[in-house]
Each structure stands twice: as structure tokens, then as C-alpha cells.
Amino acid sequence: MTPNDPPMPDDFDWMNDPESELPAQDDALGFTHELDWRQPQPDAAESATPPDPEWFDLDDPESEEIADWLDDGLSDAQPDWANEKPDDAPGRTEAESPESVGSGLTEDLFDGTIDEADKTLFAEDPEPLEPDLPPDWLEGFADDEGLWSADDASDAAAYATDPADWDEPLPFEASYEEMATEFPDFDEDLPAMEGAAADGQRTRDDVPPAPEMPEADADPLEDEPAWLASTDTAFLRDVMATGPDDDLDAPEEPSTGELLEGLFDDLVTPADDDELTYIDTSLGSGDIEALLDDLDTDDLAPMQDGSTVDPNLLAGIDDMIEGPGDRAMFDADDLVAWDLEDAVVERPDWLDAIDDMPDVESDRNAAIAALAAQAARIDADGDDEIPFMAADYGALEIAGDDDGFELPDFPDLEIDEDAAHVTDAELAPPDTGELGAPDVEEVDFEQWLNDDIETFGDVDELPEWVRDLQAERDDNSAAAIVRARYEDRPIDELDPRLQALHERGLLVGEAATDDLPPFEGEAGMAGLAFGEVLGESELDHEAPLDADEEHRRGLVAAILAGGLAGVALNAASPPEGDAEAAFDGVTDIAEIGGGAADVLEAPPRGRLVPGLGWRRPRIARLVIALMLFGAVLLPLLLNLRIGEAPPAVFASGGPAQAVFDAVDRLAPGATILLAPEYNLAAAPEMDALLTAVVQHSAERGAQLIVTGSNPLGIQHAVARINEIPGARIAGIRLLPGGAVGVREWLTNPAALTADMTFAGRAPRTLEELGAVVIVTDGLDGFRPWAEQIGPAVTAPVLVASAYSVYPMVAAYLDGGGIDGALAGYRDGMTYWRLLGMPFGPTATDTATTTPTATATVTATPTTTDTATATETAVPTTAVPATDMPAPTREPGQGTAGAAAGDGTATGLATRATRTARPLPTDTATATPTESATPTPVPTDTATPTTTPTPTDTATATPTPTATPTSTATPTPTPTVVLVPYARIIAEVSVNIRAGAGTSFQIIGIGAPGESYRILDESRDGQWFNIELPDGGAGWLARALVEVIELPETTPAGGAAYPAIRLVAQQSGAAEPPPVPADSRYEARWSAMTAGLLAVIAIIVAGVIQAIIRQLRQRRKR
């Protein structure tokens, strides 16, 4: 009833007028003119008796239908409840107002559908019920305003739903007996609630069968979903039962399948075809859940499309839930408050996050929080843009993280009957009503904001915050932010590349303006957009169509020409070159200057390769490659010598010399941690360094632990090391995990060396290492060692790096974690020369290796390295005299080393002893001999203390004061023998005792892997007498050790000296052969030099060409 409806006459006795039932019946049932089965029969119009009251409009189709219906004889079966007055009818009391009529009878007549039982009630009700509606006991639950509360309605619905529970205490805290006592009519009213008697005398099944109804095109009852006929529809029935019974102003288009669909969209979102995963708890209740439990989603489809079930059967539902105006039975708060205790859902974590938000003060914040949670979910699927957008709205606060998108975890919502109950505050965003708990599983966030507004109905029904997000989204995207930053920025402040692009775009436009048709239509829009990119960043975005017409034509021309040319070029290019080719197409237009036509008419470049399209030969690339190949090949093939060979010594005090000195100071038996962190591709460069360092360490009697995080590097290095005579590998250890693996050396070095075989005591800590050597071709392989191991060890950390890494490696020098560094092949070759390894003497060497009695040096002006070395030729490393066999020199022999500029005593001393690479042999039982015999080698055999006097002139003739420190004093040289060692093979530490038996005192502990020299064994052979590191002796059980043979490293004379070198000296090399000249390395060095020159030439040529090109372009402009 609307205010505009005519008032009822005062004398109208609607209570006794059969026609007066129509309004109540129509409203309660939600009947409309669209109900097929209620369509008037052909003769209905004639037999109808229109009701007299003014409010019953004969012209109203609904009234006509009602009249027709009544003429069919149903009026005789009208129940007394139908005598209820309209709200504005005379005599209507407040208690009978429609709002207060939560009639169980009404509910009984309409339980969501019109079924046979309902029709039977109209047709023949043997015992019409008393018209005292609503029952007083139900009325008691109405509030002061006569309105039912949501809880009451729910309770009543639950009560009426399941008669089986009548024996149980009623849901509204009153037992059946109490109710019956309190309300005399209670028993009588109960049957009306469900159509069944409380005493069991009458049930739904007792209702007589319905009479045959008028035929319709299709009997909708046959298509009624099973769930609608079930008792679980109590919620819907209850909703309708509490509706206004005088509603004659039902919408002209009463509830349809669409609205029902909207209702169910709110109620349930099926995760798949047959599973319900989520209940929108803003509408939820235990009744809804009960309904949904029996709900077959297959029924939803016909409901939604209305193809098989007349949606009008469900008329009235929407009126109850979201009816227009004041007819809405519930507002959002009611729905939320409705029996939330029965809402069974699994509380999502994001609710906690929302609760924890410090500034949840508005609907918007709460909604944003929910959006952020959804964004996080979407981001898990790989969409990065959504979180960014959500973050722009401040949703990051949800996780308390300003720097990232660490949004709360968002588990799937599932129905879980055991889950804890939740409260309305937890489930509903404050006052938003429409939002509810978002369905994170199914709702597409982006689509939600864009097009999928059906969830909310019309656009106007969208929550305000959603409309705000839609409006603001474009201004908050990443692209929009970037655009905004550059939008109003003067061109001259742009990056030079952007400026160049801008100029290029203008040029393109000018070149093609005259060749293309006028600007029109969509092409013009595209041209404008293109112009924004290429040339017109200052275009007014508010009025793009007002741009200069001529300019737009030019831009369109550029687009068409560039685009088509790009397409053509793309076809001739591999797919990955699309963007480049397209840009080339544009720039080519600019260079041609003749407009787009020439480009369009030009045939595709390159040749058509079957299956690959048009391919363009990369002429420039091939030319460059051939130049490089030629430059590198010629020295190798023709034995050309280009450039100057690497210097014979390192710069004194430099990082390379530091490496050499550190290795040269190693004590015999010292352990080196060698990390070959390079790949096979870099082997041609890195092997030179690896070989040099390992060779040197082997000559010092050191042993190697080959370790690292690169298995290929380790394997390759081991192969190389095995080729180096004298090199000994104590163990190999791969460190998986990169930096984390390297750190294992800090945390548990003993475990890493447990299964290794050491000559002597195994290093238990990093402090016991002799050196750490890293051979690397990349920063990633180098940093973990320098940054983690470097600061933790006292041993020198030495790095041999590729050229490309050296700048970064050098940064770690001088307290940065490393103590010395070698760079590239050049330092490798110098290192070889210092070791006396085969590398051809340079011209300088040749000139100075001629022995002269005066040791006169002719410093070649061009040998700057030599000059430098000479200037700083101060011995920086004092090698103990006992470590070095005193080099001897025949009187009169030249000081070749000094002549060559080997300014360091270390270098000279080293060279003096490396006349041949020693070859270890098991039969090497050298005996001490005296090296009294001079070694008249024309090369380095002297250790002069050079004090050159460098001059700045090229003709300087330094006069070294060669003061040989060597004497002819025979130096007792130790022997090298293989002696037995007892290596501990037990997995745990073992006891070293004072005697051959467990009854003796424990005097030490031996770790697994450690080796001790065997001095003797017990009589029974079960114990070994071993030599302890402190020189003492102890006993080890034989069962705990294995016997191995290791070279004796302690010289007989007591001086420590690399045994391997002694082997060489004792093996008859009384006169070591001169270092052979190996032209291969010189040739390779020349090849590198030639290649470098070629590269320089290529770069210079490229720069010149670019300059010429720029000049030509400027001239054109």
C-alpha cells in the first residue's frame, strides 16, 4: 500500500468481505500477473466479480487476475486469516499492522513455492484456522514497534521448520510446555506454522491432494527444484511470512530469476560445479546453511536463466530482503546481526589483519583492506599490477610493511562446521553493507572493478568506495605515475635519449606529412597517441582533438609508414627483434626523408628463407667478426710477434707481487684452500693463473684443498692440478648453495676436512690454513670468499681473477678482505716467468742474459717495466737464508736477473732455483749433496742486491752494484724419502697414549684424517709409535689408522725446505738447462695484442661513423 492509494471507505467491512482477502493473499504469495498458472481463463473476465472497494482497481491487471482467480472457486476455501485488513483499512488496529503480522499461516500457505499442499489449503480446508493472527505467543516476540527482530524470525522459522525438534526445548529459550502454558492458543497455532499438528494428528502428508489446477503452458511445479520443496526452505518462507501482507504495490516487474540470482550470488558462491565453499555471512544464518546443505547447484542454473522454472514462483523473496523503500524488511544491520552465531565459516586471516589495522575508521579503509587482501591473492597468481594498485591506496598498512607487499595470507574459505563462531564485527566491514566478506576465491578483482558490476546490480548500487576506486585507478597505475612525472616536464630536462626520440619523432612527422591522406577518424586518435610518445609530450590531454590538424596528419603519416615498415621488417627479423625492427622502420623513414611512400614501396630487405621468413644478413657483425678472427689468427699462424711481452717481474709492492710473496712464504706442508670459481668457458684465461699459483705452491711443499661452489670449476681445476708435477690435493669439497655453502667453512671446517688426507696435521680451523686462493671469472664466485672467509682468516687471501672482474676485485684490496690479486693472462705469464716455467725469453732478456763479468746492464728505453722495476728494486720480502739454497755464480758470470730488472730478491731467488720443474718420484731417495758446484747458467743464477740508479733519459745506463750474497759454502740439503704415516681413519677423535696399550695415559687427541709419522710399532704390531707435532712421541692403536706414505718434508739439516725442489736438485740437475723458449705462449700473447688492436680500430671506426651520421642528420635538419 502506498500513500497514493485511495483510502478505504469507512463502512467497508473488509473483514467479512471475501474480496478483501485478495490483497493479503496477493501480497503474501507474491502472485503477479506473470504467473502462468494463474492466467485467467478465457471466460474468466465475464464471470469475475470485481471487488467494490476503491483501492481495488478494476483496471489494475493484478486485480483482474485476483478476481479471476476467485471466480474459479477458491474463495470458498479461503482461510480465515485472509480476512485480515489492509493496513489502511478502517478498523485496522496497530497490532494488525502488516509489519507485525509474522503469520505462520501465511508462511504455511507459501513456503517459497506454490505446491500442492498450498493449493489444497485454498481448495478445501476442513478445519479453517482461527483468524487470530498473529498468534499471541509469536506476537510477544515483536518489539515495541511491532516489528520482529531478526532473531525472532529466525527462531520461529527454525521452530516451524523441523517438527521433530518440538520435543526439544524451543530455540527461543522456552520449552514447549512453557509456551503452551503461557499461550493457550499455542497448540492451535502450531499447525498453522507448518501445516502439521503439534500433537501429531495432522502432518503435511495428511493434507488432501490438491485439486487439478488450470492447465498452463508448462507446469512450473514439475520443474521446481528439490531444494525449494524441502523443509530447509524455512528461511525463505520465514522471510516471506514476515513480509507486509497488504502489499498491493508489488513492483510491476516483481522478483524474477535475476533478482533471485542476485540473492544467491550473495548467499553462495560455488567454487566449482558441485561444491559450495563460501557463505556470505552478511546474510548468513544457520537456516541459510541448512538450506544450502541440500542445495544442488544444478538447480541454480535453471533458476538463473529462468528457462525451466518460472522465476515468478519465487516472487516476494526480494521484497523481503531488498524491497524498495520502506518495504524492505531488513536493513544491512539486521542481516548482519541475524543469527551470526550460527554462521559457520572458517575465519579468514585477513579479518585479523583488518582488525589490526590502526586506522580502520571508515568504510573505505575497511574496504581497501579487503581489496588489498584480494590483491595479495591475485598477486599469488602472478599479477603484479594489482598489488601495486592496492598499495597505492594505502593498503600496505594492513601488513605494517611500507616497503613491500607482504599482505596477509589468504586461505580459501571453506565451510567448516567445527570452526569457531564469529561475530558481526569480524565478518562485516563497518557499515558497508554491500561488501560483506569478499570471496577471494572466485571474485576477479580487476574485473570486479571494471565490468562485473552485476554483483552489485546497477552501477548506482555499487558501493561508493568501489566507484571511487574505479575513478581513481587510472591515476594510480604505474604507467600513470610515470606519465605524470614526465607529463609537464620540459623537453630539455628529459633524458637525452628521450630528447633524441622526441626530435626523431618530429622529423618523422615532417618527412611524411605531405605524402598521406588527411587525418580522419580513429586513425587520427591513434596518431595523436603516437604523437604523445614521439613528439608531443606537451599535448593537452584534456582536449586532444584540438591538436594542430597539420601536425596530426604528419603523425598519422608517421604511424602508417612506420607501422607498415615495421611490419615488413618484422617479417624479415626473428621474433625477438620485433620492437627493434619496428623502431628501425621509423628511423629509416627519417633518414630517407622522402616520406613513407618510398618505404612502403621498397621490397623487404634480406632474402626469404623457407621457414624463417625474410632474413637480413648481418653484414656489420660479420665484418667485425672476421676482423677479429684475422687479427687473432695471423700471429698464431704466421708466428708474428706483436707488442711487448709481459714483464718478467711484478711491480714491486703491487697486489700481484703480494700473491707471489705470500705463496713463497708458505711453510712446507701448509694447507691452501683453493677455490676455482670459474667456468669452463673462461678456462683459457683462468688456467694460466691457476697453473702458476699451484705450481708455485707445489714447489713450496704445500697441499691443496680444492673447494668451491662451482662443480665444473672444481672438476676442471683438479684435472689441471693433476697435470702439475708435485702438486698434492689433500681433499676436494663441493660447497652447494653459493654464499651459504661457502659459509660452511666458517661454521664447521673440521667436518669439511674429515675425510681428507693431509700430510701432517689436518687443519681443524681456518686459522691453521696457510693461504686461501680464489681463482674466479665472476664477481658472484668471488664475493662470498672475500666477504665471508676473508675477514675470518689470518692466512693471506689471494685472488687470481679474469680481466673483466679485476676492477671489482681490486676494490677489496687494502683491507677489503684480500691480500693480493692477479689479473688475467698477463699476470699469469709473468708468474710463469718468475717460476722459470717455459716462456720464451723476451728481447730484453736475450740482450741481458749474456754473461758479462761486469754485469753491465743496458736499459732499453722502451722497457718501461724494467725501468720501473729497477727504480723500486728494493727487496721487499726477506726470504730466510735457510729457506733458499744460496744461488751460486761463477765469478765473471753476468747477473742476468738484475740486468733484466728483477729488482726483488724474492724474484731472483726464486728464479735461481727454478731451472727445471721437479718431477717427484717414488724412488727419489736423494741423498744430501752439496751444491758447491756453481751453476754457470747464462740465465738467472745470481741474487744480486741491485741498487740501480735509474735515470729519466732513454740512454740511461744503470750500473747495478751486483753484490752476490751467495757463497760457495756448501749447504746441506735434506733428503726426500717417502716415509710411513699413520692416518686416522676412525670417524671420531682417537686417543694418543703414552704407551702401547690402553692402560697408558692419554697424552693427546688425534682427529679423523690427521696423519702422523710412524716412528715404530709395538711388538705385537697393534700400536704405532708416532711422532707428535711438538716433537714428542705417542702411541696410536693400529686398528684406528691406516698406513700411508708421504714424502718426508723435514730436511735432514733441520731447515724447512720444499722437498720437491730438493728432489730436483738431487736428481742430477747440477746444471739445470736453460729455460726453453716456448713460442706458443708468445704467439698467443701476440694474438691477444693483435686482437686488442683490432677491437680498438673497430671502436674508433664505429665512433667516426656515428659522428658522420650525426653531422649528416644535422645538416638535413
Partner 1 sequence: MDAAGAILGFTVTLMVLSYLLGDNALYRLAIYIFIGLTAAFVTIITIETVLLPLTTSTGGVILLGVAAFFGLLLLLKPARNGVWLTNLVLAFLVAVGVAVALVGALTGALLPLTSATIQSVDREPLAGAVMVTGVVTSLIYFQYLARRGQNGLTGNNPLIAVLRTVGQGFIVVALGTAYGLAILSGLTIMSGRIAALLGGGI
Helix (H) or strand (E) holding 335: helix 332-337
Binding of partner 1 by 633 (CB under 8 A): yes
Which of 173, 325, 474, 621 is close enough to bind partner 1 by CB under 8 A? 621
Q: Taking the complex as a whole, how short is the minimal distance between the CB of residue 741 and partner 1, in angstroms?
A: 9
Q: Taking the complex as a whole, how short is the minimal distance between the CB of residue 546 and partner 1, in angstroms?
A: 21
Q: How far apart are the C-alpha atoms of 66 and 38, rounded to whole Å?
A: 9
Burial 548-577 (b: 16+ CB within 10 A, else e): eeebbbbbbbbbbbbbebbebbbebbeeee
Which lies closer to partner 1 via its Cβ, residue 368 or residue 818? 818
Which of 13, 52, 803, 853 is close enough to bind partner 1 by CB under 8 A? 803
Q: For residue 822, list its beta bridge partners.
A: 800
Q: How far apart are the C-alpha atoms of 924 and 973, rounded to whole Å?
A: 14
Q: What are phi and psi of 234, to 5 degrees?
A: -55, -35
Question: Which of the residues 348 through 377 are near partner 1 (CB under 8 A)?
Answer: none
Q: Taking the complex as a whole, how short is the minimal distance between the CB of residue 859 and partner 1, in angstroms?
A: 27
Which lies closer to partner 1 via its Cβ, residue 526 or residue 734? 734
Could you tell me if 794 and 1084 are in contact, meaning their C-beta atoms sit under 8 angstroms apart?
Answer: no
Which lies closer to partner 1 via its Cβ, residue 320 or residue 795? 795
Binding of partner 1 by 1112 (CB under 8 A): no
Binding of partner 1 by 812 (CB under 8 A): yes
Q: What are phi and psi of 743, to 5 degrees?
A: -65, -15
Could you tell me if 512 and 558 are in contact, meaning their C-beta atoms sit under 8 angstroms apart?
Answer: yes
Q: Taking the complex as a whole, how short is the minimal distance between the CB of residue 755 and partner 1, in angstroms?
A: 7
Binding of partner 1 by 807 (CB under 8 A): yes
Residue window 89-128: x/- pattern of binding to partner 1, with contact defined by CB under 8 A: ----------------------------------------
Binding of partner 1 by 1084 (CB under 8 A): yes
Count of C-beta atoms within a 10 Å radius of residue 362: 14
Q: How far apart are the C-alpha atoms of 582 and 947, rounded to whole Å?
A: 68
Half-sphere exposure of 632 (CA within 13 A, CB side): 10
Binding of partner 1 by 476 (CB under 8 A): no
Binding of partner 1 by 489 (CB under 8 A): yes
Which of 786, 834, 924, 1041 is close enough to bind partner 1 by CB under 8 A? 786
Which lies closer to partner 1 via its Cβ, residue 383 or residue 787? 787
Applying CB under 8 A, the span of 155-163, 348-356, 622-630, 904-912 interacting with partner 1 comes to: 622-630
Question: Which of the residues 279 through 338 are near partner 1 (CB under 8 A)?
Answer: none
- Alpha-carbon 814 to chain mean position: 37
Q: Taking the complex as a whole, how short is the minimal distance between the CB of residue 815 and partner 1, in angstroms?
A: 5
Which of 419, 608, 625, 1005 is close enough to bind partner 1 by CB under 8 A? 625
Classify burial at 315, counting beta carbons within 10 Å of its beta carbon; exposed 0-12, middle 13-18, buried 19 or more: buried
Which of 10, 451, 458, 488 is close enough to bind partner 1 by CB under 8 A? 488
Helix (H) or strand (E) holding 61: helix 61-71
Binding of partner 1 by 793 (CB under 8 A): no
Q: Taking the complex as a whole, how short is the minimal distance between the CB of residue 296 and partner 1, in angstroms?
A: 25
Burial 873-891 (b: 16+ CB within 10 A, else e): bebebebeeebbbbbbbee
Question: Which of the residues 814 through 843 are near partner 1 (CB under 8 A)?
Answer: 814-817, 824-825
Applying CB under 8 A, the span of 251-259, 562-570, 619-627, 654-662 interacting with partner 1 comes to: 619-627
* Grid cell listed for 154: 529466525
Which of 421, 607, 764, 1080 is close enough to bind partner 1 by CB under 8 A? 1080
Which lies closer to partner 1 via its Cβ, residue 157 or residue 658? 658
Applying CB under 8 A, the span of 354-362, 364-372, 736-744, 882-890 interacting with partner 1 comes to: 736-744
Q: What are phi and psi of 1004, to 5 degrees?
A: -175, 170
- The number of residues making up the chain comes to 1117
Q: Taking the complex as a whole, how short is the minimal distance between the CB of residue 688 and partner 1, in angstroms?
A: 6
What is the per-residue DSSP string for 948-1004?
A: ----SSTT----------------PPPP--EEEEEEE-SSS-EEEESSSSTTSPEEE
Binding of partner 1 by 694 (CB under 8 A): no
Which lies closer to partner 1 via its Cβ, residue 61 or residue 711? 711
Which lies closer to partner 1 via its Cβ, residue 486 or residue 1107? 486
> Among residues 830, 820, 967, 953, which one has the least CA distance to residue 900?
830
Which lies closer to partner 1 via its Cβ, residue 850 or residue 1079? 1079
Binding of partner 1 by 718 (CB under 8 A): no
Binding of partner 1 by 987 (CB under 8 A): yes
Which of 632, 663, 800, 896 is close enough to bind partner 1 by CB under 8 A? 632
Q: What are phi and psi of 825, to 5 degrees?
A: -65, -30
Could you tell me if 1023 and 1039 are in contact, meaning their C-beta atoms sit under 8 angstroms apart?
Answer: no
User: Cα separations (Å) of 823 from 314, 784, 803, 828, 923?
Assistant: 86, 19, 6, 8, 39
Which of 743, 871, 1038, 1067 is close enough to bind partner 1 by CB under 8 A? 743
Which lies closer to partner 1 via its Cβ, residue 618 or residue 1116? 618
Which of 507, 714, 822, 962 is close enough to bind partner 1 by CB under 8 A? 714
Half-sphere exposure of 704 (CA within 13 A, CB side): 31
Q: For residue 607, list its beta bridge partners.
A: 615
Q: Taking the complex as a whole, how short is the minimal distance between the CB of residue 283 and partner 1, in angstroms?
A: 27
Could you tell me if 230 and 115 are in contact, meaning their C-beta atoms sit under 8 angstroms apart?
Answer: no
Which of 687, 699, 940, 1048 is close enough to bind partner 1 by CB under 8 A? 687
Q: Residue 732: helix, strand or coil by DSSP?
A: strand
Applying CB under 8 A, the span of 82-90, 552-560, 657-665, 1077-1085 interacting with partner 1 comes to: 1077-1085
Burial 387-413 (b: 16+ CB within 10 A, else e): bbbbbbbebbbbbeeeeebebbebeeb
Question: Which of the residues 408 through 437 are near partner 1 (CB under 8 A)?
Answer: 409, 412
Could you tell me if 240 and 228 are in contact, meaning their C-beta atoms sit under 8 angstroms apart?
Answer: no
Question: Which of the residues 522 through 581 are near partner 1 (CB under 8 A)?
Answer: 574
Q: How far apart are the C-alpha atoms of 935 and 967, rounded to whole Å?
A: 12
- Residue carrying C-alpha cell 705470500: 662
Q: Taking the complex as a whole, how short is the minimal distance between the CB of residue 378 and partner 1, in angstroms?
A: 13
Binding of partner 1 by 688 (CB under 8 A): yes
What is the per-residue DSSP string for 399-448?
A: TT-SSS--PPP-PPP---TTSPP--HHHHS-TTT-S--S--TTT--HHHH
Residue window 576-615: x/- pattern of binding to partner 1, with contact defined by CB under 8 A: ---------------------------------------x
Q: Taking the complex as a whole, how short is the minimal distance between the CB of residue 913 and partner 1, in angstroms?
A: 23
Q: Taking the complex as a whole, how short is the minimal distance between the CB of residue 297 and partner 1, in angstroms?
A: 21
Count of C-beta atoms within a 10 Å radius of residue 1117: 10
* Grid cell listed for 805: 672482474
Question: Which of the residues 759 through 778 are near partner 1 (CB under 8 A)?
Answer: 777
Q: Taking the complex as a whole, how short is the minimal distance between the CB of residue 372 and partner 1, in angstroms?
A: 17
Which of 39, 587, 788, 1050 is close enough to bind partner 1 by CB under 8 A? 788
> Among residues 135, 195, 136, 141, which one has the least CA distance to residue 172?
141
Binding of partner 1 by 790 (CB under 8 A): yes
Binding-site size, partner 1 (CB under 8 A): 72
Q: Taking the complex as a whole, how short is the minimal distance between the CB of residue 651 and partner 1, in angstroms?
A: 15
Which of 171, 781, 784, 851 is close enough to bind partner 1 by CB under 8 A? 784
User: Cα separations (Å) of 986 from 24, 184, 496, 981, 1006?
Assistant: 98, 95, 70, 15, 10
